Amino acid sequence: MAARDVLRYPHPLLKTRCQDIMPADPAVQDVVRDMLDTLDASPGVALAAPQIGYAVRAIVVDVSRDKREEHRRGHGRVVLLNPVLLACDEMHVVREGCLSVPDFTANVMRGGRAVVQGLTPQGETQVLEALGFEALAFQHEIDHLDGTLFLDRVASLKRDLFPRKQR
């Protein structure tokens, strides 16, 4: 196991624009293993490399971990390097949280459909269409790679930010 501590806001790495990472890079194995181990040890459904101290563009999304059944539909466990949003639409306001901002949730604008392209750790190009909760998760994690937190997308900190109840 190499579960790592999840960095918390305002750690500077969470505000950093991360570098591309090539599948051939020997560091990929460590990054992916640590992301998966950390996710398994957390209550979350997704994680980005900078949240565990790696300033590289790698994410894992696994909505099948969610406790709400209606959120679990999707592609299961997906690990992507250098992911980009090819399309994002059906914009609407959703309540969002983050392992790196454990004390708050907030209302943010997200797409209900996202088409994501990235590389698998084995170097194959993967394109997938995510809907609903899974689409939100991909948008949230890709934001992390640009140093963007959901707090940065809140329209009004006064109106749209909510203290989290006791966890």
Which residues in this chain contact Zn ion in the complex, by CB under 5 A?
98
Contact criterion met (CB below 8 Å) for 47 and 31 = no
Catalytic annotation present for 129: no
Q: How far is the CB of 140 from Zn ion (least distance, A)?
A: 5
- Mapped onto helix, strand or coil, the DSSP state of residue 161 is strand
Measured distance CA(42)–CA(47) in Å, rounded: 10
Q: In this chain, which residue has its C-beta nearest to Zn ion?
A: 98
User: Structure tokens of 51?
Assistant: 């949240």
Specify the residue, 50 or 118, whose C-beta has the smaller distance to Zn ion.
Answer: 50
Nearest CB to Zn ion, comparing residues 88 and 145: 145
Select 82 or 100, whichever has its Cβ closest to Zn ion. Answer: 100
Q: d(Cα 158, Cα 123) in Å, to the nearest integer?
A: 44
Give me the catalytic one of 69, 70, 90, 141: 141
Catalytic sites, residue numbers: 141
